[in-house]
Structure 1
Amino acid sequence: MLRLHVGKNAPKYYKGNWSFDSTKDALNFEPYHDLEDVEERYISTNSFNFLRTITQEEELVFRHVYGRDDTTYDTRAVELNDIRDLVLFLMPSEFLRPKFVEFMHHQAVYHLLHSLTIYFEYYLRMVEFVLIRRDEISGEKAQIQNEQTNDMKRVFSVYLSQYRMLVARNYSVIIKGEGDLEKFYHMKKLVNISQSIWDKNFHEQLLACSTQIVWIAMHRRAYNVIEMEMNRLFRSEHFVTSRPEYLSFTPAERSLLYGRNSKIVNYRTQVSPLIQELQHIRAEDLPILWIGERKYRGTDIRIMEMELEYIVPGPQLRLIDVAHGILGHPKKLYNTLLELDWPSVRYSNFSKHHDPYHIIRQPHLDIPKIDAMKMRQMTVQYEHFYEIHNLFETCHRQVIFKWLRREKIIKFYRSGGLLTNIVSRCEKELATTAHGPRVDQIIANYFKVKSRLRKEAQSREGDDDTVASGRIGNASPKEKNQVADMFYD
């Protein structure tokens, strides 16, 4: 029996079987409480098993404990953080390590996932375009391609390489390991010894989570295409496994999708396609490397379009009539697993003339001008005046600890524990007549935790005792209340 007092946290995602009850002469729904034997329970991504579906108990835990807080920005719209939190809840337990969870909440990783979402939005459109053209130029009623069609394909290929360049720019920030990303770098300080095994597992986990995030953001479609291209981008074609469900492209189609910078050499000197994009950059494409950092000043319309797509937040994409998967869509149209709820869409009265979220309209590619590349070579660039500063909500350490206790929280709830919010907690405290712990016990618990934090800080950072004491003494009132709640509990 599900026990939760808050109505808004009632289950929204239902997974089970429908059966006919002859005694009541009606349909009866029986939800799954244990999905271990269900074939659709897991989905394999790079040999890691992610949850594909969840039970209603797990749904309540996710919505009540791990869902995005209502006090954050644009809480009514689907953001990239919502998809990331869902993937963190669905990922295997071996991923729950402090360094990896903290890494997934880093601003540089957010920018990488954002650029990957933009890239795969157009990459899937290009793959669909390639498959359609393959059918049109083959068979009994094959069409003849003219020179204008080839020019259009060249422009599409250049546009896709530009989005790939944006992904490479954000990825290079991470692999350099500078600034606050130094703690995630594979080289140890002073001794300069590489942590090869740790770095390999870390990279594999990041790649698997990125694939899941992009797949969910793209309405859970074309999973095999996303997985194949994600592995090709970050590895190279030498290390992409050959699977029957993967698409195979002809040399002409590969040149269209992968661009002219993609080259295959000996595996000893092979670099990933992302780094290849940064090795050969045209002069007119150099401003792409500053998108999101500087405000572009020039006459290149293509750079302006890319900058607008990148800097506009997801909830405001409808204002520029751009779609990046499910980003910016109202949450009321989706269930807990961010799957589209078609009855909600039906009652929203969307049409081809009123479709701000590109749900009814099919994805399409705007036909570019034939002389678009020549026009870009004649553009003028001016000196930049303004810097762009992004607003990013940093992750509190308590949130990371909460993710590390994911399995314990789910196990506690399944064993009969009750998830309570602040209202039910206050009602319980008012109804009880027992007194709390003594004052001396509270002080003893406080100093016990304080000494433990001091020892951890000394072993981790090698600082003196003032670092650990400063974390407690200089903490905000909200943090002190959270620490005090641990003592009462």
Structure 2
Amino acid sequence: MTDRVLYKNGVWVWDQYNDGVMFTGKDAIQQVASNCSRSSNISRSISGRKNIDIEIQVMDTLDGYAKAKFRKHYQRKVKVGDVAVATIQDVKDVAIFTSKVSDLSLEFISYFHTAVMDRFLRSMIVYFQYYLQIWNRMQRRRAETSRQLRHPRVIVLEDEIRDNLADLRSMVSRDYAAILLGLEDVKMFHHMSNKNNDSLSDKDRKLFEILCFMTVKVVWIALFRKNLPLLERETNRLLRTLCFSPVESSGVPLPQATSEEERLLTGKAFKNEKRLLHRSPIIQEIIFDNHDYRMLAIGLKNIKGADERIRYLEIAYAAPEELLVESGIAVGVLGVDRKYLDTILKPKEISTTVKISSLMKIGEFNLPPRKIDPKWKYSDTLPEEPCFYRETQATRANRRAQCKKWRSYVDAEGIFFDDSSDVSSILNLRTSIVAKEKVSNTQNANIN
């Protein structure tokens, strides 16, 4: 009778490592289910796709042990006297650590830690910072516009916002095109970068799938973990087109926009091309629309005589993160003092009602209006002088150091270790588990 009461609230499951049955209580099952329910929506939408052999999962919550290990081994170290602010590398560190290790590879870690990739991710954060502001503003105006007549002046204001989004989208297009062409330090990861000059399409497809997922995650973390379905939908639309977006065909309810809002959000450069020859909207932006070449040179060349708009964007895209908050430019969590954030870059809570995030003084991304100076003469060439804001040697050193750490992390399959004795015990344990699985598979094959 005692055994019946003891094994009443639970189920029996098969333990493949111990080769026997194991009892699991319902309390433990409910605890695991509650933890899984707090996972990111990315895992549900991406892992449910068909015809893709990559199943990506992510956790947004970490226990105290995992946070302590991350802080000790993998968090970017700040030297004494340096300004401790959140950087793009910090966001990437959290994104990698909260991902499933089996979804990552050593090649992707090296690919993810390149200067071109950092510029692309920062451009995406800037774009979505402004994109979400416009989206939230449109949601507030929906109820008002349903009861009022549409004024002709509204179209002029919407065209201005449409052009602002197009300019920010063109910056993403510039940095994404550098990845597609394999420029600078991403050349070795290009699908044609091999001795035989053959296209490694399968490897390139896997890198692209993981890159799409990690891009959504980095932007989501950098923008304080808000509007995840909208971020995922727009990112897949930009990089894949709506024809091949798995989000559109997943059946999950998505944020919808009216025809006027779609005109504003997609821009005038978007064209519906033939399905198999359809270029992604992010590449269409730089092909079919005219953008100020001075803006496209931000971070590369020093444009003399630039107006307020160009200088504002120059700080947002190219300046070190510690100058963002000082300049009053909001780019998500970038530039925020790390004392306001916890280990995984969430705002710290100082009480049950007041959050310290209210002390960050982060405003909106207020893009200055576009002004055409008749005295400015456009040139066919860019100046030779490099941009005033350049990547520092410390930033490059931190990127290389973090890349080395994360490669070791992926190579060890995410198992924490503190000394060499732990490493040998982990390798022995892994070898014994693999050998036991092979023996079990052989026995099952003989039985069949």
Normalised by the shorter chain, which TM-score bucket? Answer: 0.7 to 0.9
Deviation digits for residues 264-301 of structure 1, max 9, x if unmatched? 2221111111110110242x612222110011123543
Contact 1:300 1:379 in 2 (8 A): no
Which letter maps to 1:110?
D
Contact 2:331 2:365 in 1 (8 A): no
User: Who is 2:305 aligned against?
Assistant: 298
Question: How far is 1:83 from its partner?
Answer: 0.9
User: Who is 1:166 aligned against?
Assistant: 171
2:192 equivalent to 1:191: no
User: Who is 1:155 aligned against?
Assistant: 160
The 1:103–1:232 alpha-carbon spacing in structure 2 relative to 1, beyond 3 Å, is: same
Deviation digits for residues 119-155 of structure 1, max 9, x if unmatched? 11000011112222222111xxx23332322111111
2:142 equivalent to 1:134: yes
Q: Which runs of 5+ in 1 are unaligned?
A: 1-31, 419-489
Question: How far is 1:339 from its partner?
Answer: 1.2
Distance in 2 separating the partners of 1:170 and 1:377: 30
2:396 equivalent to 1:393: yes
Contact 1:329 1:357 in 2 (8 A): no
User: Who is 1:441 aligned against?
Assistant: none
Question: How far is 1:386 from its partner?
Answer: 2.3
Distance in 1 separating the partners of 2:80 and 2:177: 29
Contact 1:96 1:403 in 2 (8 A): no
The 1:405–1:261 alpha-carbon spacing in structure 2 relative to 1, beyond 3 Å, is: same
Deviation digits for residues 447-474 of structure 1, max 9, x if unmatched? xxxxxxxxxxxxxxxxxxxxxxxxxxxx
Match of 2:36 among 36, 39, 45: 39
User: Who is 2:101 aligned against?
Assistant: 93
Which letter maps to 2:300?
E
Contact 2:125 2:222 in 1 (8 A): yes
2:237 equivalent to 1:236: no
Question: How far is 1:347 from its partner?
Answer: 8.5
In the TM superposition, 1:80-479 aligns within 5 A as: 80-138=88-146, 142-240=147-245, 241-242=247-248, 243-282=251-290, 285-343=292-350, 357-358=361-362, 363=364, 372=370, 375=372, 379-381=376-378, 384=383, 386-388=385-387, 389-391=390-392, 392-394=395-397, 395-396=400-401, 398-407=404-413, 409-410=415-416, 412=417
Distance in 2 separating the partners of 1:348 and 1:74: 26
Contact 1:86 1:337 in 2 (8 A): yes
Contact 1:80 1:327 in 2 (8 A): yes
Question: How far is 1:417 from its partner?
Answer: 6.6
User: Who is 2:70 aligned against?
Assistant: 62
3-state SS of paired residue (1:248): coil
Which letter maps to 2:171?
L
Deviation digits for residues 175-205 of structure 1, max 9, x if unmatched? 1113432221112534332222211111010
Question: How far is 1:88 from its partner?
Answer: 0.8
3-state SS of paired residue (1:51): coil
Question: How far is 1:245 from its partner?
Answer: 2.8
RMSD: 3.1
3-state SS of paired residue (1:221): coil
Contact 1:333 1:345 in 2 (8 A): no
The 1:406–1:199 alpha-carbon spacing in structure 2 relative to 1, beyond 3 Å, is: same
Distance in 2 separating the partners of 1:94 and 1:235: 24
Distance in 1 separating the partners of 2:267 and 2:166: 6
The 1:223–1:376 alpha-carbon spacing in structure 2 relative to 1, beyond 3 Å, is: farther
Deviation digits for residues 365-424 of structure 1, max 9, x if unmatched? 57x76xx56x367744476352123224141474244222453533x58xx979xxxxxx
The size of the alignment, in residue pairs, is: 370
Contact 2:116 2:178 in 1 (8 A): yes
Contact 1:297 1:381 in 2 (8 A): no
The 1:380–1:320 alpha-carbon spacing in structure 2 relative to 1, beyond 3 Å, is: farther
The 1:35–1:72 alpha-carbon spacing in structure 2 relative to 1, beyond 3 Å, is: farther
Contact 2:299 2:317 in 1 (8 A): yes
TM-score by length of 1: 0.69
The 1:277–1:136 alpha-carbon spacing in structure 2 relative to 1, beyond 3 Å, is: same
Which letter maps to 2:415?
I
Distance in 2 separating the partners of 1:285 and 1:174: 21
The 1:63–1:274 alpha-carbon spacing in structure 2 relative to 1, beyond 3 Å, is: same
The 1:404–1:349 alpha-carbon spacing in structure 2 relative to 1, beyond 3 Å, is: closer
Contact 2:347 2:357 in 1 (8 A): no
Deviation digits for residues 227-272 of structure 1, max 9, x if unmatched? 1111011111112233443112222211101110011222111111
3-state SS of paired residue (2:57): strand
The 1:385–1:273 alpha-carbon spacing in structure 2 relative to 1, beyond 3 Å, is: same
The 1:381–1:197 alpha-carbon spacing in structure 2 relative to 1, beyond 3 Å, is: same
In the TM superposition, 1:65-76 aligns within 5 A as: 65-71=73-79, 74=82, 76=84
Which letter maps to 1:393?
R
Q: Which runs of 5+ in 2 are unaligned?
A: 1-27, 48-55, 424-448
Contact 1:300 1:380 in 2 (8 A): no
The 1:70–1:349 alpha-carbon spacing in structure 2 relative to 1, beyond 3 Å, is: closer
The 1:336–1:344 alpha-carbon spacing in structure 2 relative to 1, beyond 3 Å, is: farther
Distance in 2 separating the partners of 1:226 and 1:329: 21
Which letter maps to 1:270?
H
Quick one: percent identity of the two aligned structures?
25
Which letter maps to 1:93?
V
Distance in 2 separating the partners of 1:254 and 1:211: 21
Distance in 2 separating the partners of 1:238 and 1:378: 45
Contact 1:299 1:380 in 2 (8 A): no
3-state SS of paired residue (1:111): helix
Which letter maps to 2:191?
H
Contact 2:129 2:223 in 1 (8 A): yes
The 1:43–1:168 alpha-carbon spacing in structure 2 relative to 1, beyond 3 Å, is: same
